[in-house]
Structure 1
Amino acid sequence: MDVQDFSLLVTLARTRNITHAAEEFFITQSSVSKRVRHIEKELGIVLLLRSRQGIQFTPAGEIVLGHARTVLHEVNTMHRALKDRQGVVSGTLRVGVSINYAVYRLPAQLRLYRSRYPLVQTQFVTLSSQDVFSRFLAGKDEVAILRGEHSDWTGPRMLLGREPICVITSKEDANRPLREFSQVTRHTDIEMARDITQWMKENHIPPAKSHIAANSTATCMEMVRQGLGWSIVPQICLARFDGCVRPMYFADGTPLMRATYLFYTAQAEELPQVRAFIDMFR
């Protein structure tokens, strides 16, 4: 059965006459009778009783008729809702965001997006860049904002910016050789860890004899501010840091930089709510 069948049954119930129903559908009486027999065969019941006074639905037919009216009501409600939403961006937007970007960039952008598209349900997850990338590859998010190159992704990407990676110390330790005191470290991805190891080797900085393992960039900065050691953090975090900041350079003069990208798929971009989010960054 389809919507046309439901509509035919409701029309038969209203007109109580096969001829009148056929006229409303612009088909022949035999076509109506044939369609009714097909529905009866599909359901294994008798829908109608025919007499000179017209047609009458059987008890089983009344049950089918009630469901037919419900279905038609829901279909009409759906069409009205779709018509009302024409040109309106709605739906659900799922985005995975790296931690530092979520802290220092995302809030203002998310506020703007929500003000423009209040009917969109936004679902943002904040994780490390590697975890964001894993969720994105698994299809859990339509968009990923993450740091690092992730060269194994060959789909669409948008460069949001590049920034220097910096060594930070307290003001009191500004001129103190890094090898002489503790390093405040935090977990980072393989790509950044490799670059930091290369930088330390080229700048003749041996691994610190003592170090503090912090769980976030904010913790690193506070430890450094208190004079407990030096650390390596991205510039995105340093707007309010009042200590000493030195961008990092390799031996050949190349700065150590970190890129932030927006990843998405061509299929996801077809969704209006996703396309609207991506367009904010263009």
Structure 2
Amino acid sequence: MDERDWMVLQTLYKEKNITKAAQLLYISQPALTNRLNQLEKEFGVIIVNRGRRGVQFTPQGEYLAKSAQEMLLTIQKIKENVLNMEDRVVGTLRLGVSNFFTDYMLPNLLKLFKDQYPNIEFKVTTNFSSHIAQLIYNQNVHIGIVKGDFIWKDHKHLLFEESICIASKEKIDIHDLPNLPRIDYHTDTSLKNSIDKWWSENFTQPPLVSIEVDKADTCKKMVINGLGYAILPSLILKDVNDIHIADIKSIDGKPIVRKTWMIYHEDSLKLNIVKAFVDFIEKEFRV
């Protein structure tokens, strides 16, 4: 088996559909089916049973598919170690980055880093911070950039912190919030918990949610157009001038803040590309 075979098994196991898997792998459906048949002959077992509703993995096939991630990671590490022997900053840097950081900061940072090291490439995975933390824990990415306070016993570096604030088109009295239309958005668990905790400490009735959207940026646009208030991280409002902003505070009067961290495994610093990026980010975000 080669790297492509493991990718075939990993993708097919995730999709449970030959047509969808072929599309993701950029090969034809007959080519994928043929490769699957060859693998079954190589191992002398049935890997999948095909049906009208897709494919179902046999116990042997499931074992091979679950081994695919480990094998692909091993192959990736071998490639990285070989490149690292050249004592140059080359190769592919695998990053896991929170949605917000990706939208507002990452593109410029990657450009600056690539200007310094033109022989590198990036593979970026974007998701909520909880998912990114799991990726870095499993070593699926070299470096994670997450928001919130995650339990992480290896290396981490505080990049910055931002306040959480109430944003509205018109000036409002904070005591009136339960009676005013609120715009909610999908976000990571840590931020949602902070906002919910603050609300429960200040009000005895639930918020009057009138609009729910998928992203904080969409929520911001709703606020700008006067459709309600929202509770947002302050950095997302940095480029907005014509709205009213008020930080939310804990019971003891301190602003509630959210921290952004760079996290990584110490062993990964042995790779020149990882060490260079960590040093670069630390210089860009000196706290």
Give the TM interval when normalised to the shorter protein. Answer: 0.5 to 0.7
Aligned mates of 1:197, 1:175 — CA distance in 2: 19
Pick closer, same or farther for the CA change 1:210–1:109 going to 2, 3 Å: closer
Aligned mates of 1:86, 1:213 — CA distance in 2: 51
Within 5 A, what are the aligned runs for 1:123-138? 123-138=123-138
Counterpart secondary structure, 1:102: helix
Answer whether contact 1:142 1:264 (CA < 8 A) is retained: yes
Pick closer, same or farther for the CA change 1:255–1:205 going to 2, 3 Å: farther
Q: Does 1:112 align with 2:115?
A: no
Amino acid across the alignment from 2:263? F
Answer whether contact 1:100 1:236 (CA < 8 A) is retained: no
Determine the structure 2 residue equivalent to 1:33.
none
Counterpart secondary structure, 1:281: helix
Aligned mates of 1:163, 1:82 — CA distance in 2: 38
Q: Does 1:93 align with 2:93?
A: yes
Counterpart secondary structure, 1:221: helix
CA positional deviation for 1:256: 0.7
Aligned mates of 1:204, 1:82 — CA distance in 2: 57
Within 5 A, what are the aligned runs for 1:9-158? 86-151=86-151, 153-158=152-157
| Contiguous gaps of at least 5 residues in structure 2 | 1-81, 283-287
Once the two structures are superposed, residues 68-126 of structure 1 have per-residue CA deviations (whole angstroms, 9 ceiling, x without a partner) of xxxxxxxxxxxxx989x844310110001101111112122111111011111211122
Within 5 A, what are the aligned runs for 1:88-237? 88-151=88-151, 153-170=152-169, 172-175=170-173, 177-204=176-203, 206-237=205-236
Aligned mates of 2:211, 2:141 — CA distance in 1: 34
Aligned mates of 2:228, 2:133 — CA distance in 1: 31
Answer whether contact 1:178 1:205 (CA < 8 A) is retained: no
Percent of paired sites with the same residue: 30
TM normalised by structure 1 equals 0.66
Answer whether contact 2:162 2:235 (CA < 8 A) is retained: yes
Answer whether contact 2:186 2:216 (CA < 8 A) is retained: no
Counterpart secondary structure, 1:275: helix
Aligned mates of 1:279, 1:264 — CA distance in 2: 12
Determine the structure 2 residue equivalent to 1:266.
266
Deviates more, 1:201-210 or 1:182-191: 201-210
CA positional deviation for 1:254: 1.7
CA positional deviation for 1:280: 0.8
Determine the structure 1 residue equivalent to 2:33.
none
Deviates more, 1:203-212 or 1:153-162: 203-212
Length, aligned pairs only: 199
Aligned mates of 2:191, 2:145 — CA distance in 1: 17
Aligned mates of 2:190, 2:132 — CA distance in 1: 15
Counterpart secondary structure, 2:110: helix
Aligned mates of 1:234, 1:132 — CA distance in 2: 19
Q: Which has the larger radius of gyration?
A: 1
Aligned mates of 1:237, 1:209 — CA distance in 2: 23
Answer whether contact 1:165 1:256 (CA < 8 A) is retained: yes
Answer whether contact 2:83 2:91 (CA < 8 A) is retained: no
CA positional deviation for 1:210: 3.7
Determine the structure 2 residue equivalent to 1:245.
245
Determine the structure 2 residue equivalent to 1:279.
279
Aligned mates of 2:179, 2:83 — CA distance in 1: 67
Counterpart secondary structure, 1:280: helix
Counterpart secondary structure, 1:146: strand
The list of structure 1 runs, each at least 4 consecutive aligned residues, that deviate by more than 6 angstroms after superposition, is: none
Pick closer, same or farther for the CA change 1:264–1:82 going to 2, 3 Å: closer
Determine the structure 2 residue equivalent to 1:255.
255
Aligned mates of 1:205, 1:82 — CA distance in 2: 59
